[in-house]
Amino acid sequence: MPVNAEKEITTLWRNLHAAQDEICKTFYRWREVALDIAGPDADSMEIAMKAADFIGKEIGKSLLPRLNWLKGEEVFLMNLGRALANLWAVEGALVQVEKGEKDGEIIIKCTRDPWPSVAKEYDVPMEEVARTRERIFKSALEDVSVFFNIGLDIEMLKAIPRGEGMYLFRLYKTE
């Protein structure tokens, strides 16, 4: 029986988008349960930041086997930026990574992110969405910094949930 390549690709494409949608929704479903358990006086931002710290730490640990310093600082930082961007792309974002203007600096740009749209379904404040992404990345860098004995940081310069049209992150080596 011949394979209908177009039908197979369409099926895979639909399945990918469904999985990406579920990733976002699962986070916000979990958030709703945590807020319910925490009670009416719970601070949703505090709960989201604790979750982001945990998720980021796990991501950081998973990055360690894939990173190395053998090709130098510039390649290391570019690979680290790509690793963070690829994790985000798996969630449905359109992300690109490029060298920054300064040495020891990488720029991560995201022009489409599904998280703000899903967050609206759960009445999540957009500032919480923006800060959650930043906190995940910052927490992911903690173990990488310790393991490679270099200071790393990331700062969010722009954010889609803030109405700035894109996410713009600066990943850099601290002195």
Question: What is the predicted pLDDT for the residue at 13?
Answer: 80
Q: Report the C-alpha gap between 146 and 10 in whole angstroms.
A: 43
Please, are residues 87 and 171 in contact by the beta-carbon 8 Å criterion?
no
Question: What is the predicted pLDDT for the residue at 98?
Answer: 97
Phi first, then psi, for residue 42 (nearest 5°) are: -65, 145
Question: What is the predicted pLDDT for the residue at 69?
Answer: 87
Domain boundaries in the chain?
5-173
Question: What is the predicted pLDDT for the residue at 22?
Answer: 86
For the entire predicted model, the pTM comes to 0.89
Question: What is the predicted pLDDT for the residue at 135?
Answer: 97
**C-alpha closest to that of 130 among 106, 107, 110:** 110
The tens place of each residue's pLDDT in the chain, 175 residues long, gives 788 888 888 888 888 777 777 888 999 999 999 999 999 999 999 999 999 999 999 999 999 998 988 888 999 999 999 999 999 999 989 999 999 999 899 999 999 999 999 999 999 999 999 999 999 999 999 999 999 999 999 999 999 999 999 999 999 999 7
**Domain 5-173 in CATH: superfamily?**
Trafficking protein particle complex subunit 3 (3.30.1380.20)
Tokens 């954010």 sit on residue: 159
Question: What is the predicted pLDDT for the residue at 37?
Answer: 96
